[in-house]
Amino acid sequence: MSGLTQPSYPHGRPALQAARVDPFAVNPIEAIEFLRNKLRIPTFTWTDIWQEMHSRAFVVAGAQSDALLKDFHDAVLRAISEGRTLQQFRADFDRIVATHGWSYHGTPGWRSRVIYQTNMRMAYAAGRWEQIQRVKDDRPYLRYVAVMDERTREEHAAWHDTVLPADDPWWQTHFPPNGWHCRCTVQSLNDRDLARYGLSLSGQAPASEWVEHTVTGGRTVMAPEGIDPGFAYRPGAFPD
């Protein structure tokens, strides 16, 4: 992107916005459909269904009955459709657990948070990818955006402001969220955005060494450094 110059901002650099990509707070149609179309699959652990298979399957680790899974599926759909908070979802979680007498691992607060946040963030990411594909002729670049605070993983902070074409293969493994409780997002941009905000295309995708992990059940898997095992895929991507 030669020829771009750093603009001056006498009152500070303005916040970067992802123009023309509808915010999910308005009407998360794609995210809702992504969740609605999932098939309920009983599992013992989260890793029984691996990576892209989660794009097709709705699972709650340890939930073995279809009736229990349906209640959780309905609760998650209600949360995303109505914009319900984690606290509101926890009321549904407590009701479902009491109704089915479900025995689960972890505390109620931790378990309900994992179910709520993981389903919401993966659905939003899958829906955002659909939006990005619709506008990529006008906005062909994606910017990795990390929340730059003390809670952010070191690798995710290093990826902040990475700008690559929307079709770059790096996004197939690094499109966020990239782990449990990951808050990273992407923004779609065009040449005018790059010039306006003093950004430029990254020379190449950040290098990530693939490292070995042992997951529940003793299985050995690989994931790029900085990405939790099971998250090294683009949300919404289906298995081959």
Quickly state the pLDDT bin for 22 (edges 50, 70, 90): very low
- In order, the DSSP letters of 61-121 are TT---HHHHHHHHHHHHHHHHHT--HHHHHHHHHHHHHHHT---SS-HHHHHHHHHHHHHH
Q: Does 1 have pLDDT greater than 80?
A: no
Q: Using alpha carbons, select from 113, 100, 124, 121 the residue that is nearest to residue 42.
A: 100
Question: In DSSP terms, which residues pair with 142 in a beta bridge?
Answer: 164, 188
Tell me the CA end-to-end span of the chain in Å, nearest whole number: 35
pLDDT at 154: 97
Rounding to the nearest 10 degrees, give the CA dihedral for residues 232, 187, 143, 229. -10
The model scores a pTM over 0.85: yes
Residues 6+ apart with CB under 8 A from 50: 221, 230
Question: In DSSP terms, which residues pair with 186 in a beta bridge?
Answer: 144
Write phi, then psi, for 47 (nearest 5 degrees).
-80, 0
In eight-state DSSP terms, residue 52 is G
**pLDDT tens digits, 53-87:** 999 999 999 999 999 999 999 999 999 999 999 99
Q: Does 26 have pLDDT greater than 60?
A: no
Q: Where are the domains of the chain?
A: 29-224
Average model confidence (pLDDT) across the chain: 90
pLDDT at 239: 87
